[in-house]
Structure 1
Amino acid sequence: MTTLTRKPSGRGIAAWWQALPLTAVFALFFLLPLALVLMVSFWDYNQYEMLPGFTLKNYLNVFEGCLGGGDGGDMCVTFKTYLSTLKFGVMVWALTLVIGFTVSYFLAFHVRSTGAQVVLFVICTIPFWTSNVIRMIAWVPLLGRHGLVNDVLQQLGLVQQPIEWLLFSSFSVVLAFVHLFTTFMIVPIFNSMMRIDRSLLEAAADSGASAWQTLWNVIVPLSRTGIIIGSIFVITIVMGDFVTIGVMGGQQIASVGKIIQVQTSYLQFPLAAANAVILLSVVLMIIWALTRMVDIRREL
């Protein structure tokens, strides 16, 4: 005699109901705005209003002079702007990775007390307690032409004239980015390092591995999930930022986010939407390339 077992259908329905609120929030506040931006990017506009319809004019305007190679072989403004933005992204990523990995390594493997780890980790989050704008403005009296750094250097006789490139330059932009976003690298890397089985380190030491060999062959591979997550955080934020570049660059350094902000201020919303779609596509390709290095869903 065979007995038929019936699967409880209510369990599947309950799972759908549990996922419905988060799905609705995701669709309402993420998918719907993205769909609206994509739709507006194909609209036309004039000085007074947006004109619903379908046109590729905005995308052609973004790449105007690029597809033909430009005059004299020079790159077009769009390519130069994206290269400038990517330059900041790579520089900030490299610096935050070195600093974030070093701090995380110290907290995870050299601070023995759990209480001390918690205290030091909270100290790393202190920058989040104040506004980004306030933290950026705090650099101005330090790096300005008559700021504290230049005054000290001149009093010590190290320089004769104030150093001009300390403020409103690429240096100040990168410095502000690193100051603002290093925590986004520290948190995921520290979380990955805390999950490493300490017996693996002991086994590496018993096998005769040096500290550098253990770091490179054991800790770094086991921390790559945190490295990739932190890299995604830092790169995506830097690529779309316009406030930091505007304030610390003295409104003199171009970025894709800054161009979008200027276009929206002139009510050129369809053109700004086209730039936003292109920027989103570039960022998604970067994220896709990073996630190919590790299966984040399996590692978490």
Structure 2
Amino acid sequence: MRASTGSTCPRTRGRASPALTRSTASGPAARTARTCSGSGTRRSRSSERLGPRRDGVAVATSARAVPRPRRLDRSRAAGVLLVLPSLLYLTVFVFIPVIKAFATSFTVRDRDDAGNYTYRVGLDNYAQLVGSDTLRANVIFTVFIAVISVAIVFCIAYVIALALRFGRGPSARFLGRIYIVPLFIPSVIASYAMITFLANHGFVDGILQSVGLPDGAFPKLVFDWKGIVITQVWLSLPFMTVLLSSVLLEISDSLIESARDVGASSWEIFRHIVLPLSAPGALIGVTFIFLGVIGGFTVPYLLGPNAPQMLGVSMVYYMTNYFEPYIASTQAVAIFLLSLVAAVYYVRQQFKREVR
């Protein structure tokens, strides 16, 4: 009789049962079971491959590669299409103008005795920005207006936000309806309103003279740095108040009541609970208001003095009146760098908060 060349083990779809192996301790059946179990294990392991490790243990995956779902590719393509318009807008209206302004600021125009112009690359424009008393005063004046405006806006907006959060009664409701009005008034209209209201022989000055005050007793507010600050505060106050109010509303009443139960005073609650929890919203508001004030043009142009000037106004004068586009581009770069300092500070603070 011809011997069979195939395996004597029965075909199984998995590994041999451990119970069967343990139950037959000896004999031919036990050896056959162990042999079949080992061969089955080798077959099952040969049909699998070890994949990436998960929690220190190699995970067995199928030898056949799993095809990537087409739905994932479609979602990525949809995400790219959604981001593309914003990226295109930023490229055309932000990145390209910034690069062009930087390139123009390093361009120096020289004029010879015959009236011909020659152009070269250099740092003469930046040397003039730092060395000229007028331009240096404009930079200092711009930073001064921005810092003072932001500080006043923050203090007033915080008081209003606290009144809206913890205040009760008709006065708080009336304040909640009226504080947002300047948000819907354009800066041009607000500037002309301030000129009519605060100028010498204006509305307020006329009322003061009618009650017996002498002419000139009203301080000079228009065409002065104080007029710029007053108007910027009036325009920026609603935005800052909205941000602070939204942050203060997130503070739960139970947290404040728990602090009061353990004997904390109102000042301690404000210092240790309200102020730290409202810091993220305050940082956002301070950063955006600083950026808006430092690059503003309408308010300082209509209400500011002739000298010194904010950089936005000075840049326009150098571009249109003095025909110095290279000095104007240098001032634009100065505005960009000052704004970049505020943006970097904001990003660093956000990163520190996330790390904590």
Tell me, yes or no, if the aligned pair for 1:245 and 1:251 is still in contact at 8 Å. Answer: no
Q: Pick the structure with more strand per residue.
A: 2
Aligned to 2:297: 242
Q: Structure 1 residue 89 and structure 2 residue 146: aligned?
A: yes
Residue 180 of structure 1 corresponds to which residue in structure 2? Answer: 235
**Aligned position for 1:71:** none
For structure 1, which runs of at least 5 residues remain unmatched after alignment?
66-75
CA contact (8 A) 1:45 1:51 kept: yes
1:138 aligned counterpart, secondary structure: helix
* Residues 251/80 of structure 1: CA separation in 2 closer, same or farther (3 Å cut): closer
- Deviating more after overlay: 236-245 vs 48-57: 48-57
Q: Does residue 62 in structure 1 map to residue 129 in structure 2?
A: yes
Q: Tell whether 2:325 aligns with 1:269.
A: yes
Q: Do the aligned partners of 2:102 and 2:329 also contact (CA within 8 Å) in 1?
A: yes
Contact 1:185–1:233 at 8 Å: present in 2 too?
A: no
Aligned residue-pair number: 286
Return the TM-score normalized by structure 2: 0.70
| 1:152 and 2:207 correspond | yes
1:178, distance to aligned residue in structure 2 (A): 0.9
Q: Is the 8 A contact 1:44 1:50 kept in 2?
A: no
- SS of structure 1 residue aligned to 2:131: coil
Identity %: 24
Q: How far off its partner does 1:129 sit?
A: 2.6
What is the deviation of 1:227?
0.6
Q: Choose 44-53 or 230-239, whichever is displaced more.
A: 44-53
Query: Which of 82, 85, 93 is matched with 1:29 structurally?
Result: 93
1:241-290 per-position Cα deviation (integer Å, ceiling 9, x unaligned): 23212221253442222211111113322221111112211221133224
Q: TM-score, normalised by structure 1?
A: 0.82
Map Cα deviations across residues 194-218 of structure 1 (whole Å, 9 max, x no partner).
Answer: 2223322122122211122111211
* Within-5 A mapping of 1:195-206: 195-206=250-261
d(CA) in 1 for partners of 2:211, 2:201: 15
Cα distance change, pair 13–150 in 1 and its aligned pair in 2 (3 A) = closer
2:204 and 2:221 mapped to 1: Cα distance? Answer: 9
The answer as to whether partners of 2:199 and 2:220 remain within 8 angstroms in 1 is no
1:108/1:49 CA distance change after superposition, 3 Å: farther
Please state whether the residue corresponding to 2:152 is helix, strand or coil.
helix
Please point out which of 38, 41, 48 is paired with 2:102: 38
**Alignment correspondent of 1:163:** 218
Q: Which has the higher contact order (CA 8 A, sep 6+)?
A: 1
- Matched to 1:143, the amino acid is L
1:184-263 to structure 2, matched below 5 A, reads: 184-263=239-318
Residues 244 and 282, structure 2, Cα contact 8 Å, conserved in 1: yes
Q: 1:203 to 1:77 in 2, by over 3 A?
A: same
Indicate the SS of the match to 2:121: coil
Determine if the alignment matches structure 1 residue 278 to structure 2 residue 342.
Answer: no
Letter in 2 for 1:191: S
Unaligned runs of 5+ in 2: 1-47, 49-60
Please state how far the C-alpha of 1:96 moved relative to its aligned partner. Answer: 0.3
Give me the whole-angstrom Cα distance separating, in 2, the residues matched to 1:38 and 1:141: 40
Paired residue for 2:167? Answer: 110
